[in-house]
Amino acid sequence: MIKFTIITLFPEALEPYLKTSMMWKATEKGLAEFNFVNLREFGLGPHRSVDDTPYGGGDGMLLRCEPVFNAIESVKAKDPTAKVILPTPVGKIWNQEMARELQQGNLTSIERAQAESESPTEPSTGQHRAQARLGDEDSAWREANRSSDSPVVTPHYIILCPHYEGYDERILSIVDYKISLGKYVLTGGELPALIIIDSVVRLIPGVLGGEQSAIIESFSDGDNLEYPQYTKPYDFRGMKVPDILLSGNHGEIDKWRKEHSGKA
């Protein structure tokens, strides 16, 4: 079981996808749980404002600290073990290893990458203390789950979806994991949130159809690329399925597949 709480201004943009296909199957089987927190509910003043202009000038608006902190703290009040994820250009580039670690609740590579990216002499406001606390909490989490006498803690991730021009830098002090989807910019964090969730939930045993579906695939072992695959018809517009795949010789088929697997 894994839980995601998504803090967003647009829950209606996320709900249809998470109620479809494999994500729906995961919730129906009790393997995943998706919750939404509307950031607007924590907005300030009669208009529920969540953003303001940046100090020093510049275009666009930034998410303010108050609504973001209050929204996150409202979730952590019910589950102090929940970890906060922020899709951001300054984060570690997302990959299959990180998805598997998130699914297992063991975030070693993410923690290591963030420790390396943090400057020991110029930490962000409160970030040094936050990272130290994070390390202690994760060590305690893993130690508790090693003991057969301790109840298994359900991994719970809060994903904050930024919007507008960006966010007040001080918000990073309450973030546990900074993740980037690549060297490009989107209008909000909703699409990155869906990508992170989908890539993690599909790895939960019982979500995909075949037992080996999430094991024998691209990026399951570093930068490997899965071998080519074919289905009926045998001959489509002159493009034929390799005869070896119809031979029934599983040893030769395995050999062919290894030879035709690649690296990204």
Buried/exposed code over 175-204 (b: 16+ C-beta within 10 A; e: otherwise):
bbbbbbbeeeeeebbbbbbbebbbbbbbbb
Question: Is residue 234 located within the same domain as residue 179?
Answer: no
**pLDDT category of residue 134 using cuts at 50, 70 and 90:** very low
Report whether pLDDT(108) > 90.
no
Q: Which residue has the higher pLDDT, 32 or 127?
A: 32
Lowest mean pLDDT among 125-134, 145-154, 188-197, 211-220: 125-134
Tell me the pLDDT tens digit for each residue of 1-23.
999 999 999 999 999 999 999 99
pLDDT at 148: 46
List the structure tokens of 71: 């929204």
Question: Is residue 83 located within the same domain as residue 169?
Answer: yes
User: Which pairs with CB-CB distance under 8 Å and at least 24 residues apart come from 203-212?
Assistant: 203/99, 203/100, 203/103, 204/2, 204/26, 204/31, 204/32, 204/103, 206/29, 206/31, 207/22, 207/25, 207/26, 207/29, 207/31, 207/32, 208/22
In a domain, 26, yes or no: yes
Question: Is residue 178 located within the same domain as residue 242?
Answer: no
Mean pLDDT of the region 221-234: 85
Give the count of domains, the chain: 2
Q: CA angle at residue 189 from 158 to 177, to 5 degrees?
A: 45
Question: Is residue 152 located within the same domain as residue 242?
Answer: no
In a domain, 209, yes or no: no
The single-letter code of the amino acid at 177 is Y
Question: Is residue 97 located within the same domain as residue 176?
Answer: yes
In a domain, 247, yes or no: yes
Question: Is residue 32 located within the same domain as residue 138?
Answer: yes
Q: How far apart are the C-alpha atoms of 1 and 69, rounded to whole Å?
A: 26
Q: Alpha carbon of 140 to those of 65, 73, 110, 186: distances in Å?
A: 28, 20, 17, 36
Question: Is residue 99 located within the same domain as residue 153?
Answer: yes
Question: Is residue 101 located within the same domain as residue 143?
Answer: yes
Q: Which CATH number do you get for residue 38?
A: 3.40.1280.10
List the structure tokens of 194: 């869906």
pLDDT at 106: 76
Mean pLDDT of the region 41-56: 96
**pLDDT category of residue 111 using cuts at 50, 70 and 90:** confident
List the structure tokens of 110: 């993410």
3-class DSSP assignment, residue 42: helix
Tell me the pLDDT tens digit for each residue of 34-45.
999 999 999 999
pLDDT at 221: 62
Share of residues in the chain with pLDDT > 90 (%): 70
Mean pLDDT of the region 221-240: 89
Question: Is residue 168 located within the same domain as residue 246?
Answer: no
Share of residues in the chain with pLDDT > 70 (%): 81
Supply the range of the domain harboring residue 67.
2-201
